[in-house]
């Protein structure tokens, strides 16, 4: 299990955070300063971790095509501003977004890595990389077209990654969010987590098949949690269709949650939306793939009524918390308070009473009850309704 099970994460950015905040004077406040200015509020809300975007120099402004790992002046702000932000967040921990599946050099199609170079730049690239310049071993994961796929079987590559993580720890980061982990074997993520003594780590195993996510966590030797995409997409389909049948599964006579939280809740990071699923990404990629589908309107509150009351480690999206208005923020804050007050943790007991068209109803940890769907349901005598909205309600005993 990651942490003590009581963690609540904040995704501390969105897809367009690199633009910063423009003022009427024409000046722009960079993202690191925006996060720093909200640090006290983030602490008071009860978040224990903030996941921040890739902080190294990158070909892409969002940071996901890294170029110079050791250069920490980026579109999000300067290294000095980053250090100041990480210090201001304390004792809330910061997760660095780690992009080590791929990398570019000074030119996007070459093997001219700098800051740092590898001992042999061509040998650091997988032999089957589409660039044709790699002389390393075949890729240990799925192929990815962005940048040169790094060969993690190469000890020089692994040494460079570990050194990079040491530098990030020196900046003030205490944990990692690993990007695109399906691109290389999970055993290397486990090795990096162990070597860096990460306090909390989670991987982006973008996979809706629950067993495949469990297998990936296993491949890290159980050292790295995973985002619960299986729960996220089941929940999306459920609230959009008002049919919650997929939110439970009968397993050898036991009734379990349908997603990863039903099978490995202590290693599951649940979420509603993120920088890959938000509305602007949906608009960008509508013609390419269907995985972006964001939660619209009041379904956002329904989704948080589920994730913030259920097992797993919940993650709240920056835009939902800061940009969707006082009602949504207040609802999220109240659910976070109830979670802490009632002692709900990542491995709390879940009793699913109904999961069918029109109704989902469950009791978590014996002290919190939640209902989704248009149908009426009540947990009965001795329960007090704490909050309710469009097709959801939450009670405490």
**Tens of pLDDT, residues 134-146:** 999 999 999 888 8
**Tens of pLDDT, residues 144-190:** 888 999 999 999 999 999 999 999 999 999 999 999 999 999 999 99
Residues contacting 323, CB < 8 A, separation 6+: none
Nearest to 181 by CA among 171, 170, 192: 192
For position 209, what pLDDT does the model report? 96
Residue among 97, 179, 207, 386 flagged as catalytic: 179
Look up residue 366 and give its two tokens: 């014996």
Residue among 149, 204, 278, 301 flagged as catalytic: 204
pTM score of the predicted model = 0.95
**279, pLDDT greater than 90:** no
- Domains of the chain, first to last: 9-246+257-343 (3.20.20.80)
For position 285, what pLDDT does the model report? 56
Determine the average pLDDT of the residues in 232-250.
97
Determine the average pLDDT of the residues in 303-326.
97
Look up residue 286 and give its two tokens: 């509508």
Cis preceding linkage at 22, omega within 30? no
Query: How far separated are the first and last CA of the chain, in Å rounded?
Result: 27
179 is catalytic: yes
Determine the average pLDDT of the residues in 245-253.
90
**249, pLDDT greater than 50:** yes
Look up residue 321 and give its two tokens: 């918390």
130 is catalytic: no
For position 109, what pLDDT does the model report? 72
Of the chain, the percentage scoring pLDDT greater than 90 comes to 89
**361, pLDDT greater than 90:** yes
Mean pLDDT of the chain: 94
Mean pLDDT lowest among 49-58, 61-70, 247-256: 247-256
**397, pLDDT greater than 50:** yes
For position 98, what pLDDT does the model report? 98
Nearest to 157 by CA among 182, 133, 201, 191: 191
């Amino acid at each position: 299990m990651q942490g003590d099970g009581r963690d609540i994460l904040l995704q501390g950015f969105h897809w367009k955070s690199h633009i910063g905040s423009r003022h009427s004077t024409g000046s722009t406040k960079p993202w690191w300063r925006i996060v720093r200015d909200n640090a006290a509020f983030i602490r008071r809300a009860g978040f224990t971790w903030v996941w921040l975007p890739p902080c190294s120099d990158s070909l892409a402004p969002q940071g996901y095509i890294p170029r110079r790992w050791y250069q920490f002046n980026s579109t999000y702000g300067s290294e000095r501003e980053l250090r100041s932000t990480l210090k201001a967040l304390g004792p809330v921990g910061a997760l660095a977004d780690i992009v080590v599946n791929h990398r570019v050099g000074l030119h996007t199609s070459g093997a001219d890595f700098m800051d740092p170079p590898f001992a042999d730049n061509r040998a650091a690239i997988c032999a089957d990389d589409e660039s044709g310049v790699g002389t390393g071993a075949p890729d240990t994961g799925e192929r990815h077209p962005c940048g040169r796929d790094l060969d993690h079987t190469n000890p020089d590559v692994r040494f460079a990654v570990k050194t990079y993580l040491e530098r990030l720890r020196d900046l003030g980061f205490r944990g990692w969010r690993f990007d695109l982990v399906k691109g290389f074997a999970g055993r290397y993520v486990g090795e990096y987590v162990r070597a860096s003594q990460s306090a909390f780590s989670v991987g982006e195993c973008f996979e809706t098949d629950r067993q495949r996510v469990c297998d990936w966590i296993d491949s890290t030797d159980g050292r790295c949690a995973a985002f619960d995409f299986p729960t996220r997409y089941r929940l999306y389909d459920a609230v959009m269709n008002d049919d919650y049948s997929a939110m439970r599964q009968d397993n050898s006579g036991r009734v379990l949650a349908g997603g990863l939280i039903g099978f490995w809740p202590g290693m599951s990071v649940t979420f509603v939306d993120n920088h890959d699923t938000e509305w602007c990404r949906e608009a960008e990629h509508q013609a390419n793939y269907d995985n972006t589908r964001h939660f619209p309107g009041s379904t956002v509150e329904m989704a948080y009524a589920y994730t913030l009351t259920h097992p797993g480690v919940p993650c709240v999206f920056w835009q939902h918390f800061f940009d969707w208005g006082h009602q949504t923020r207040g609802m999220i804050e109240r659910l976070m308070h109830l979670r802490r007050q009632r002692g709900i943790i990542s491995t709390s007991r879940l009793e699913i009473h109904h999961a069918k068209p029109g109704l989902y109803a469950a009791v978590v940890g014996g002290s919190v009850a939640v209902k989704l769907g248009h149908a009426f349901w009540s947990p009965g005598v001795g329960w007090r309704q704490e909050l309710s909205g469009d097709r959801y309600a939450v009670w405490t005993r």
